Amino acid sequence: MTDMSIFVAVQSDDFCVASEYNELRRQSGCGAIVTFSGLVRELSDNQLHSMTLEHYPGMTEQALTAIAEQAQQRWQLGAVHLIHRVGSLKPHEQIVFVGIASPHRAAAFAAGEFIMDYLKNRAPLWKKEHTSNGDYWVEAKTSDQHALTRWG
């Protein structure tokens, strides 16, 4: 595929999955589209009022673009859309969107998992939870670090 396109955005505004999906359909002319959305999850032990997403402006965009490019080198992809929100978010709000268009579903599924695994370990973003018991920075999970090992 010659005209692989990458779209990356770091924004406080919400995104619309349907618009992204339609854009992926229009751009790629591929046979498969896989999309993933990550949402603000409620906590099991105390009440989450909101979450603040901090990032490193400039580096975040570069890191996300580099991850999409790595995926493009590993699989045959038509288009990758990667959107990450920053700022204050409430429970159930959308945080992250990954959309992949490819000729075949296996590549689209794999690239989506690869992009999320790398995003969780490489993109300079940090979550702070504002709960009924106080404010806490989210700790990085070792399971997220281990997830990278499957990609060699």
Q: For Cα atoms 151, 118, 5, give the angle at the middle one, nearest 5 degrees.
A: 100
For the chain, the helix, strand and coil percentages under 3-state DSSP, each to the nearest 5: 35, 35, 30
Out of 65, 88, 121, 131, which residue is the one contacting another protein (CB under 8 A)?
Answer: 121
Shortest Å distance, C-beta 23 to another protein: 22
Using CB under 8 A as the binding rule, whether residue 128 contacts another protein is answered as: yes
Q: Which stretch binds another protein (CB under 8 A): 11-19, 20-28, 49-57, 102-110?
A: 49-57
Out of 14, 62, 74, 133, which residue is the one contacting another protein (CB under 8 A)?
Answer: 62
Rounded to whole angstroms, the Cα distance separating 91 from 136 reads: 15
Using CB under 8 A as the binding rule, whether residue 33 contacts another protein is answered as: no
Using CB under 8 A as the binding rule, whether residue 91 contacts another protein is answered as: no
Out of 127, 130, 131, 148, which residue is the one contacting another protein (CB under 8 A)?
Answer: 127
Residue 46 or 145 having the CB closest to another protein: 145
Rounded to whole angstroms, the Cα distance separating 27 from 131 reads: 41
**For residues 146, 147, 150 and 152, what is the CA-based torsion angle, rounded to 10 degrees?**
-70
CB 120 within 8 A of CB 144: yes
Out of 22, 26, 29, 58, which residue is the one contacting another protein (CB under 8 A)?
Answer: 58
